[in-house]
Amino acid sequence: MTVSRSEAGSTVSSRRRGRAAFVDGQPAGNLTRDHILDNITLYWLTGTGASAARSYWEGGRAAALAAGQAPPEVELPVSFTMFPGEIFRAPRSWVEKLYPRVIYFNEAISGGHFAAWEEPQLFSEEIRAGLRPLR
């Protein structure tokens, strides 16, 4: 992530722009301030923020790997879409090593960690494309 300064003020590189929720004080992607506030309010009022974050906590397999136990192999067919603004972008070779039955792999043109929220049309198209080989 690089930040550069120009005479007109501060600007953020295109690489950083794809990963930021806000750029120059404005929501990025197709998000609006109202969308963001609605989402935060939903988690706050229903008390579901912790359970929503649970998958991140459980997804950390560091303890199993540290104990010398590899996670079980995923035997199901897997579709994988990598969005350019994702926090971590795994190369296809890594995806195929973890998921030996990759039936669909694509690098999307936009979207980030919250792609379903940021780019709902693109996200739904990717789900359809990922499931198409199973027809």
pLDDT of residue 2 exceeding 70, the answer is: no
In a domain, 36, yes or no: yes
pLDDT of residue 34 exceeding 60, the answer is: yes
In a domain, 15, yes or no: yes
Structurally, the chain folds into a number of domains equal to: 1
Q: How confident is the model at residue 3 (pLDDT cuts 50, 70, 90)?
A: very low
In a domain, 3, yes or no: no
What residues make up the domain containing 79?
10-134
Question: Which two structure tokens, joined as six digits, stand for 36?
Answer: 């963001």
| Pairing of β 78-82 and β 102-107 | parallel
Q: How confident is the model at residue 28 (pLDDT cuts 50, 70, 90)?
A: low
In a domain, 89, yes or no: yes
Taking only the tens place, the pLDDT of each residue in 39-94 is 889 888 898 888 877 777 666 656 666 667 776 788 899 999 999 988 888 899 99
In a domain, 18, yes or no: yes
Terminal alpha carbon distance of the chain:
40
Can you tell me whether residue 73 is helix, strand or coil? coil
| Rg of the Cα atoms in the chain | 18
Q: What is the pLDDT of residue 21?
A: 62
In a domain, 5, yes or no: no
In a domain, 1, yes or no: no
Counting Cβ atoms within 10 Å, is residue 126 exposed (0-12), middle (13-18) or buried (19+)? buried
pLDDT mean over 12-16 = 40
The amino acid at residue 124 is S
Q: What is the pLDDT of residue 59?
A: 67
In a domain, 4, yes or no: no
Report pTM. Answer: 0.62
How far apart CA 3 and CA 109 sit, in angstroms, is 22
